[in-house]
Amino acid sequence: EKPPGPLPIYPGGKFLPDPKYGDQLNPDSDQGLNPCSPSQSRSACDLGIQLQFTEQTSRKVFRRSVVLVVATEKMKKALKARPFTDDDLRGIFDTSHNVTHTVDSIYRYFRSISYEIRDTDQKCFKLEAPAQLVAMHLQGPNIIHQVKLNMALYRPKSGTSNQSSMRFPVALGIKGRSLYLSCVHNGQQPVLQLEEADILKDVDGAELERFIFYKVENESTAQFESAAHRGWYICTSPQNNQPVSVTNRLGEVFITNYFLTQSKH
C-alpha cells in the first residue's frame, strides 16, 4: 500500500482529520497524538508520515516551525525490532552535521592604471633578458629604459579582513608586454619572478594568487605584499643594478617602499 502524503494543516497549526484514519492522528481527539504507540494497528511512523507543527505569533511576521521528517525505510527497519521511543528521537537531533562556509576566491577586476615606479633610493626598474627586473639609477637618455608598470586593481575577496581603504589587491604587469610579477615558492623560500600571462580580468585566487600583491599605502609611498605568501614584500637592494626580489625582513637592508607616479602615456 502506498504511504499517504503529509497531513493537511489548518492555519492555526492543527491537523485536518483524514477519513481513512479517523482521529487517531488528531491532537484534539481524546486519544491525543501518539503516532508511535504500540497499541495502534498502523501508526504514523509505519506510514512514513511527515509531521509539521507551526506556531504564528500575533501580527509579527515571525514563525517558529519544527519539521520532523521520518525516513520511511529506516523507521520500518527499527520498528520491526521495537517501538519508536523518545531516545530514538533524541538521537536524531543529537546527530552532528558539518557545516562548510564557502568564501569567494575570486578577485574581481576593477580597472588598470599605468605607473612609473622608483624605490626610495630613486632607482628605477629596468627589464633585462631573458625576463628579469633589476633596480638601477637611470639618467639622461638612459631613462627610456625605465619600466612602467601596468597595475590592474581588484576588489578584495568577500569574507576577507583585507577590505581596508589602505590595502588594494593588484597585479603588476610590464607595460607593453604580457609579463606579470609573481611570487612563488622555490622549495626554500618565496621568490619573485616574471611570468607571461594575460590576467587583466577576474583572477581565481585558488589558482593564480601568485600574481596578486596587496598595495599597502604609507603616506607618500607604497609597499607590495604577496597575497600568496603573506609577510613577503617586493624589495630592491641598496646596491645599484641588482635584481628586484622579495623579503620578509622589513626595515633592515632591503628597500620595500616605492614612489608611484601615474603615467600619462
pLDDT digits (tens, 9 = 90+) for 115-167: 999 999 999 999 998 899 999 999 999 999 999 999 999 987 665 544 455 78
- Name beta bridge partners: 27: none
pLDDT at position 63: 38
> For residue 239, what pLDDT band results from cuts at 50, 70 and 90?
very high
pLDDT at position 94: 52
C-alpha cell recorded at residue 34: 501518539
Of 64, 98, 132, the residue at which a domain comes to its end is: 98
pLDDT at position 207: 83
Structural domain range at position 37: 1-98
Between CA 125 and CA 133 the distance in angstroms is 6
179 with 196, same domain: the answer is yes
pLDDT at position 180: 96
211 with 230, same domain: the answer is yes
134 with 54, same domain: the answer is no
Percent of the chain with pLDDT over 90: 46
90 with 138, same domain: the answer is no
Residue 237 CA: distances (Å) to CA of 143, 250, 253, 256: 20, 12, 7, 9
C-alpha cell recorded at residue 9: 494543516
Rounded average pLDDT over 229-251:
97
Backbone angles phi, psi at 209, to 5 degrees: -65, -15
Backbone angles phi, psi at 164, to 5 degrees: -90, 150
30 with 69, same domain: the answer is yes
91 with 141, same domain: the answer is no
pLDDT higher than threshold 50 for residue 177: yes
> For residue 105, what pLDDT band results from cuts at 50, 70 and 90?
confident
120 with 35, same domain: the answer is no
Q: What is the pTM of this model?
A: 0.60
For 209-238, how does the pLDDT look when each residue is reduced to its tens digit (9 = 90+)?
A: 999 999 999 989 999 999 999 999 999 999
Position with higher pLDDT, 137 vs 205: 137
Average pLDDT score over the chain: 74
For 2-49, how does the pLDDT look when each residue is reduced to its tens digit (9 = 90+)?
A: 555 555 544 544 444 544 444 444 444 444 444 444 444 444 445 454
Q: How many helices and strands in the chain, by DSSP H and E?
A: 3, 16
pLDDT higher than threshold 50 for residue 255: yes
- The helix or strand, by DSSP H or E, that contains position 150, with its residue range, turns out to be strand 148-155
pLDDT higher than threshold 50 for residue 264: yes
pLDDT at position 115: 97
Rounded average pLDDT over 194-204:
84
121 with 92, same domain: the answer is no
52 with 1, same domain: the answer is yes
86 with 115, same domain: the answer is no
CATH code for position 219: 2.80.10.50
135 with 258, same domain: the answer is yes
Q: Report the domain count for the chain.
A: 2
Q: Cell 594568487 sits at which residue?
A: 209
pLDDT at position 203: 85
Rounded average pLDDT over 88-100:
46
180 with 129, same domain: the answer is yes
Of 98, 122, 140, the residue at which a domain comes to its end is: 98
Of 74, 98, 122, the residue at which a domain comes to its end is: 98
